[in-house]
Amino acid sequence: MPKNPQWIELENRLRNLIESATELTETVKWGMPVFTYDGKNVLGFAGMKHHFAVWFYNGVFLKDQHQVLINAQEGKTKAMRQWRMESEADLDEKVFLKLVQEAISNEQKGLVWKPEKSKELELPDLLKEKLKADSKLKKAFELLTPYKQKEYAEYISEAKREATQVSRLEKIIPMILEGKGLNDRYK
């Protein structure tokens, strides 16, 4: 059952389109329907409070001639593209199936977004000071993978207000001490 029941009809309509016109396999990931080709994520969807979203995992390669796709998190999301619908009437089945077929074709061609090499880890001053003052925390932080260290550094740096940065730091200290990454609970 979807989290937002107003989208049940649209979800079922999309599911039927995908099942009848493609060789994609439906699975559930992150609590939402995800459709895969040869084990690789192609698209997923979910009903939100104010819109219904269909996302294409390698949507950056889609031609999008009808201009329906957006980058939902500009600056963060590199490959994924999303089609937001405010009602079932926003769905153009021909355009949808064309995008799905193109996404499958791109998977068959092996098109994959290659992330850029990230710059060297830069710790925010607040985190640096805390690590310097607490040797147990510093040791636990150093045992984390570089990716997890970067997640924590960005989490604090992205906060605009110092009060928010302090609050975030206090929130992550127990997670660091347990050797957990910021987003491990979603894996």
Average pLDDT, the chain: 90
Q: Supply the CATH number for residue 102's domain.
A: 3.90.1150.200
Per-residue pLDDT of 141-169, as tens digits, reads 999 999 899 999 999 999 999 999 999 99
Q: Are residues 23 and 102 in the same domain?
A: yes
Q: Give the tokens for residue 3.
A: 């989290």
* Residue 179 pLDDT > 90: yes
Per-residue pLDDT of 132-141, as tens digits, reads 999 999 999 9
User: Is the Cα dihedral 104, 5, 29, 25 positive or negative?
Assistant: negative
CA distances from 166 to 134, 157, 169, 175 (A): 15, 11, 5, 15
| Pick from 96, 152, 144, 160: nearest CA to 127 | 152
* Residue 79 pLDDT > 60: yes
Number of structural domains found in the chain: 2
Q: How many Cβ atoms from other residues are within 10 Å of residue 142's Cβ? A: 9
- Give the structural domain span for 41: 5-109
Q: Are residues 92 and 9 in the same domain?
A: yes
Q: How confident is the model at residue 1 (pLDDT cuts 50, 70, 90)?
A: very low
Q: Are residues 13 and 74 in the same domain?
A: yes
Q: Are residues 79 and 150 in the same domain?
A: no
Q: Are residues 16 and 104 in the same domain?
A: yes
Q: What is the pLDDT of residue 3?
A: 63
